[in-house]
Amino acid sequence: MIRLITASQRYEAQVEGWLRSHYLFSFADYYDPENMEFGPLRVFNDDYVSPRSGFPTHPHSELEIVTIVLSGDLTHKDNIGNETTVSPGQVQRMTAGTGVSHSETNDTDDEIHLLQLWFMPNKRGLAPSYEVMDVGFLKAKDELIPLVTGQKVLEDVTYINSNSTVYYGSVSQGEEITFRTFKIRRTLIYVLTGSLLVNNVEADSHDQIRLDEQEVIAIRGTADATFILVDVPALEANY
């Protein structure tokens, strides 16, 4: 099954003048019982954070939280001793585990564009932990670059406690990338820029395609395009 969800079907949120966001799944004041999750992927938010603002300190538990910075510099602080700046091309992973409190703020005069994804973990009761990796994914050209993974077949990638992998993709107009998977897995593609033809389904900027029971996914650029591909199990142990 292949399902196209257009950009206009995303939920748009404005938070007190400092955050513009689009939610791909039910989140905060947006509730749709038919759009709660995608395998262990529970949250996928496309966020723009205004200068000198951000998410104040708040708690989380039993989540794998992935933050992908597309532009701007994000300041992270938490109660387990981490204080870092996450820049474009870098990926942040936080295992909330038994509980962590953190803030994510824009301490600059420029807007930040980031993506945040939450996964339900396949292991519970873990100690909280944190990692930032400079992946340099924004330099990608006609390739998929893994950003985080819980699949041990990939090396030198930030590890998450979910049998899932998040990729950043770039494809030029007229070029094609082939992604091979299994029918027991699910794939979500979110177009950041440009337009794609995914298994003969057209998708424009900010559209998403959700695919089930596929073995081969052909991603062709109908214009120069960038996108996020999330590969998840249909069912996750302990999920």
66 and 91 in contact (C-beta within 8 Å)?
yes
Q: Return the DSSP state at 123.
A: S
Dist CA 47 CA 49 (whole Å)? 6
104 carries a ligand binding annotation: yes
Residues 95-143: pLDDT tens digits?
999 999 999 999 999 999 999 999 999 999 999 999 999 999 999 999 9
pLDDT score, position 239: 47
22 carries a ligand binding annotation: no
Residues of the chain with pLDDT under 70: 153-154, 236-239
Dist CA 151 CA 78 (whole Å)? 27
SS3 label, residue 172: coil
pLDDT score, position 238: 55
76 carries a ligand binding annotation: no
145 and 68 in contact (C-beta within 8 Å)?
no
Encoded tokens for 179:
């992604």
Dist CA 91 CA 37 (whole Å)? 22
pLDDT score, position 237: 59
pLDDT score, position 236: 67
Q: What is the CATH number that goes with domain 139-233?
A: 2.60.120.10
Q: What's the CATH number of domain 2-138, 1.10.3720.10, 1.10.260.40, 3.30.930.10, 2.60.120.10? A: 2.60.120.10
139-233 and 2-138 share a CATH fold: yes
